[in-house]
Amino acid sequence: MRIDGWQTKYNVAVAAMSEWPFRWGEHDCITFAARIADAVTGGRYLEGVRAKYQWSSALEAARAIKDAGRLEAMITEFLGEPVPWGWCTTGDVVLATNRDGGEIVAVMDSHYLLAPEETRLGGLPLHAAIKGWRL
């Protein structure tokens, strides 16, 4: 459930992370989405993810995702059952297809999806979304 003032907290979190470089286990698609979920809900999603899964490379991230069952299963473990992505609004977490055709966790931001890229946050088109999780 979203907290009072979530829009401001969302905007502050996005602005803070907008120029962070991509780093496995620190600022990747999963940790970014967890931080946004924390900002919007006042939850402790990032803490929960880190308590159960740890990675510092692409290979270790792939192993953690495999251990969870799939990326969708990992997100569902923390956020509950997914919904059609069209039900999502700004601040909600979505599973999407990245530019290379692989799966990525992103955050809905009005008319596009946000996810970490090499040197800053990047945007994906809405049609890249597969399903979502309402916060």
Q: Where are the beta strands (DSSP E) in 64-120?
A: 93-97, 103-109, 112-116
Strands 129-133 and 121-125: unpaired
- Report residue 50 as tokens: 């880190």
Give the per-residue pLDDT at 115: 97
Strands 129-133 and 103-109: unpaired
The rounded Cα 37 to chain-centroid distance in angstroms is 8
Give the per-residue pLDDT at 107: 98
Strands 93-97 and 129-133: antiparallel
CATH architecture of the domain with range 6-133: Alpha-Beta Complex (3.90)
Element (H, E) at 123: strand 121-125
Written as tens digits, the pLDDT of the chain (135 aa) is: 899 999 999 999 999 999 899 999 999 999 999 999 999 999 999 999 999 999 999 999 999 999 999 999 999 999 999 999 999 999 999 999 998 999 999 999 989 999 999 999 999 999 999 999 999
Predicted structure pTM score: 0.96
Tell me the backbone φ, ψ of residue 93, rounded to 5 degrees.
-90, 140
Give the per-residue pLDDT at 32: 98
The residue assigned the tokens 């290979």 is 59
For the chain, the domains span 6-133
